[in-house]
Chain A
């Protein structure tokens, strides 16, 4: 790229001294980058995206540090990965934690400033006020005049800062009236139709008529003498109704009157530990949570046991070099793994359908009985495990096949010399050595199944329902699907704050299980080394 590089003048104490030109280019690029980021930050600030702004700033500082400081040199090769991790993993986690301490959710989606602006925009028609239908006229200079007609049919001409007048055609430049009593022209002005008038965003803000009795456009069909309905008092953090004098105080993200009347809209507000408290004191916890957690563990455990057993069994069969049609059968067996789980789950749902499903019909026609796969609690659980078995055994078959290859034949030979039967060989040699290799994968699989929302939700949505619970819950609901229902069908629609809080709680549950299990794998490793 560069012409003849400078001699490798490596001085003592300053290793890796770069030649001047590439260094210059490098700095020029870095400066260009910083300028670009600075511009981006400016824009983000003007749009009010402060968390994202902070993230971009931190990343830029990090990039500068890595590229300028010599001791950070090795980090350079990780730079892009680290940036991606920051943006797509760490930033969302921080955001989730932040949301868990707010009331963010339907009913509280906008910022306080946005909500205050909206409420301050509300107007009311004072008892002495009048409402009119309006037609706009515009002069070449962009000044407006309104032709107003009140409920009794009286017509008025209104201009900003001038009292209303009632000119007849011919007076004040008013042209002849049309069928609806609106002048076809006014001297110096051009009549606009509703859409032409509405294209001016400022029109709603123009005050027509004299001071104190100003008329504003309220909607496409109405203009009226309007007064602002609310005034915000920052000291009280309250909205005061100008018509009735009622004070609406900020109560956890909603301006609420002493009578409990709430002003719409609500806004995002910090609620401290309320979401966590709500979870721990809610009927959800007193109710079916224990049963849900028990089934959650049972589901994850039995899924793992069944899937691993079948996968291992097939892998051992295929480990026999003399197995006929090995390649063909093995390819066929992998198919369930290659079909998207979403489709497989829906197909199984259809096949198990008691009235029109293939499997149910087959059973019914052959043995005259078929289980109620969706309405019986136990059969529903078995069906879920069956579907999960179908989805996951190829995975274990693959990893077990690989792991089996790594077990040395010599050990088996030695065992045979000692007179071990195949059963003993499996329990004493194959399984312990295999577990060393696949142990971490088993834990990963357990954790995955512990949170296997897709399967539970798509197959039966947690059904069939449990009877007599204080909150809706199903017999096949696992923790994540149960709290999903709780957070997204609570009283005020989707509640992200509550959902985030529960996510954090589940994170600690799953995290501690995983930690506990990794302790155990370390023990397995030691067994393996001793063996």
Chain B
């Protein structure tokens, strides 16, 4: 008995380990084709009978792996047979569920070489993907004129390169209950005016409800002149210019807070609340995106979609196809996107399946769903959601600021000032407040590298007189340095005391202690030798 048991237990162990080996074993064929095309290429040589379309060899000469969401997968699968027949290239389409579910697998799989060649994503992932080197740029050539400019802008990163082929845009639209409100209001004050009147008549509970924080209320905030990040000279987002405490943003939040105080807007900001109130006729207005069209239509509430009052701008989210930078078929993937995806026929199919305004001009022009057309109009002035990684620091602080102002716990000024400072602190990171002297001397005093604005060894200490001090022991030699604040290069002062000014030159005659004294008023550094 014991012996039998021994053997069985061994078998179990063996099978477990073999099962563990199983995965790589099956993945070998995927690796094989790396070399296959070169050897297979001559076999595709023309057969005299059928010159232009390649004759059909048994093995596909290449495989394109695509990660898509459940709506787009069937369309791509439809394409696969045609593509295989025409080019002998196999499309391997994997359905990963919702679009937002593609991001995390992509981030883990791509660096390990397990990712797809092409994947579907949203433009505001670019911050993470480009900074991490996971996505390859795309050149649309002449075809870029066929796309909606805002959609292309959204997929363009701060380096000016395009990183995706957009196919659909989504933004909030302004919904109003046509039974209660015959004519859509032109200003936000009018919105409240109508709400006030209808509430007095006992027809509604609220004018509208906040479906969330910043994203959901942006058309009000922008109408009052609020912004999130400024733009630099080249039009790229500038994370150093945080607009959460801009006058317009505060005015917009104040508008919301006053409406809550008056009882025209509920204090709880919640997606479900806002939609239920509108769908049951308890609220006259709603700001919602194309994803909510289905449920609003099902609810049977009489509604129309239109542009936002006061020309308020919603966020624009753009979905598109991107190319994995670790793909072994980058050229093929790019060509597939420019030749096959960036076509009217394909974009039309995607539009029909997706219930989103197309990012392709000719398809957009033929769009027949009146709600989507109206939503497109509401998004004509939309602001592409900033695609820089710093946007990640904004959401919770921004939403909290709005919540604190609307609950009356803080004034809108206080709440948004705090929010903006939180965002600035998060962007600066842990080293906010550090005054440093990065330079070519740093490796002599215990820093790992030269010109490191975050090196602890050269951080200056604030003295009682308000000046900053740093004393180091330096060997004789010529050095250069600069002043940098907050452990980063964003704010730095040169020898003329000006931002981005020239380097200080430092000549140390003999080995010894050198003391630097920085005056935060003049931004100038004084050097003393012992």
Contact = CB atoms under 8 A, between A and B. Distances in A.
Contacts of B132: 106-110, 265-266
Given A465-B404, A485-B396, A221 B139 contact: yes
Contact of B450 (A60, A106, A249, A468): A249
A258 B3 contact: no
Question: Looking at B89, B329, B332, B414, which has the most chain A CB atoms within 10 Å of its CB?
Answer: B332
Interface in A331-377: 350, 353-356, 372, 374-376
Nearest to B482: A258
Contacts of B13: 33, 63, 79-80, 83
Contacts of B450: 249, 258
Contacts of A19: 3
A200 B272 contact: no
B34 A201 contact: yes
A283 B424 CA distance: 11
A485 B112 CA distance: 27
A424 interface: no
Given A118-B325, A266-B131, A469 B422 contact: yes
Interface string A27-55: 00110110011011001100100000000
B409 A106 contact: no
A355 B266 contact: yes
B268 A83 contact: no
A355 B273 contact: yes
Interface string B99-128: 000000001000111000000000000011
A9 interface: no
Given A221-B141, A467-B414, A493 B339 contact: no
B209 interface: yes
Interface residues of B, number: 112
A355 B326 CA distance: 50
B428 to A, nearest CB: 7
B293 interface: no
Nearest to A199: B62
Given A266-B131, A463-B403, A198 B267 contact: no
Interface string B446-462: 00111111101000000
Task: Specify which of A60, A195, A376, A469 lies most central, judged by the most chain B CB atoms within 10 Å of its CB.
Answer: A195
Interface stretch (B37-45, B186-194, B366-374): B37-45
B6 A491 contact: no
Given A375-B403, A467-B409, A490-B393, A220 B128 contact: no
A251 interface: yes
Contact of B128 (A18, A106, A110, A470): A106
Contacts of A264: 130-131, 133, 159
A354 B407 CA distance: 13
A43 B22 CA distance: 12
A166 interface: no
Contact of A204 (B37, B331, B453, B456): B331
A140 interface: yes
Nearest to B206: A355
A210 interface: no
Interface stretch (A274-282, A303-311, A384-392): A274-282
Interface in A177-235: 190, 193-204, 217-222
Contacts of B18: 33, 36
A441 B505 CA distance: 67
A439 interface: no
Nearest to B456: A277
A142 interface: yes
A484 to B, nearest CB: 11
B272 A353 contact: yes
Contacts of A22: 3, 6-7
Interface string B263-300: 00011101011001100000000000000000000000
Contacts of A123: none
A251 B452 contact: yes
A240 B20 CA distance: 44
A107 B131 contact: yes
A493 B392 contact: yes
A491 B393 contact: yes
A141 B422 contact: no
Nearest to A268: B111
A465 to B, nearest CB: 3
Contacts of A47: 24, 112-113
Contact of A140 (B20, B24, B42, B335): B42
B103 to A, nearest CB: 10
Q: Name the residue among B138, B340, B489 with the largest chain A CB count within 10 angstroms.
A: B489
Contacts of B249: none
A80 B12 contact: yes
A256 B451 contact: yes
A115 interface: yes
B61 interface: yes
Contact of A18 (B3, B87, B400): B3
Contacts of B113: 47
B338 interface: yes
B334 A201 contact: no
A353 B273 CA distance: 8
A490 B24 contact: no
B120 to A, nearest CB: 19
Given A47-B113, A493-B127, A470 B390 contact: no
A203 B3 contact: no
A488 B426 CA distance: 11
B488 interface: yes
B85 interface: no
B476 interface: no
A375 to B, nearest CB: 5
A491 B428 contact: yes
Contacts of B490: 260
A39 B429 contact: no
Contacts of B200: none
Interface string A106-131: 11111100110010000000000000
Interface string B412-440: 00110010011001111111100000000
Contacts of A218: 139
Contacts of B339: 193-195, 220
B17 A37 contact: yes
A169 interface: no
Contact of B133 (A114, A138, A355): A114
B80 to A, nearest CB: 14
Given A195-B87, A220-B331, A26 B10 contact: yes
Interface string A242-279: 00000001111000101111001110000000000111
Contacts of B421: 470
B418 A467 contact: yes
Given A264-B131, A355-B273, 6 more contacts: A77-B9, A195-B89, A217-B331, A356-B273, A468-B414, A472-B397
Interface of B: 3-4, 6-7, 9-14, 16-18, 20-21, 24, 34, 37-38, 41-42, 45-46, 51, 54, 61-62, 87-89, 107, 111-113, 127-128, 130-134, 138-142, 159, 205, 209, 266-268, 270, 272-273, 276-277, 325-326, 328-332, 334-336, 338-340, 389-390, 392-393, 395-397, 399-401, 403-404, 407, 409-410, 414-415, 418, 421-422, 425-432, 448-454, 456, 484, 488-490, 492, 503
Interface of A: 1-2, 5, 18-19, 22, 25-26, 29-30, 32-33, 36-37, 39-40, 43-44, 47, 56, 60, 63, 67, 76-77, 79-80, 83, 106-111, 114-115, 118, 133, 138, 140-142, 190, 193-204, 217-222, 249-252, 256, 258-261, 264-266, 277-279, 281-283, 350, 353-356, 372, 374-376, 463-465, 467-472, 474, 485, 488-494
30 contacts: A18-B6, A22-B6, A36-B14, A43-B24, A44-B24, A56-B20, A60-B17, A63-B17, A80-B13, A80-B16, A109-B133, A133-B141, A193-B339, A198-B334, A199-B37, A201-B38, A204-B331, A220-B334, A256-B451, A258-B503, A265-B133, A350-B272, A354-B268, A355-B268, A356-B273, A463-B400, A465-B403, A467-B414, A472-B422, A491-B389
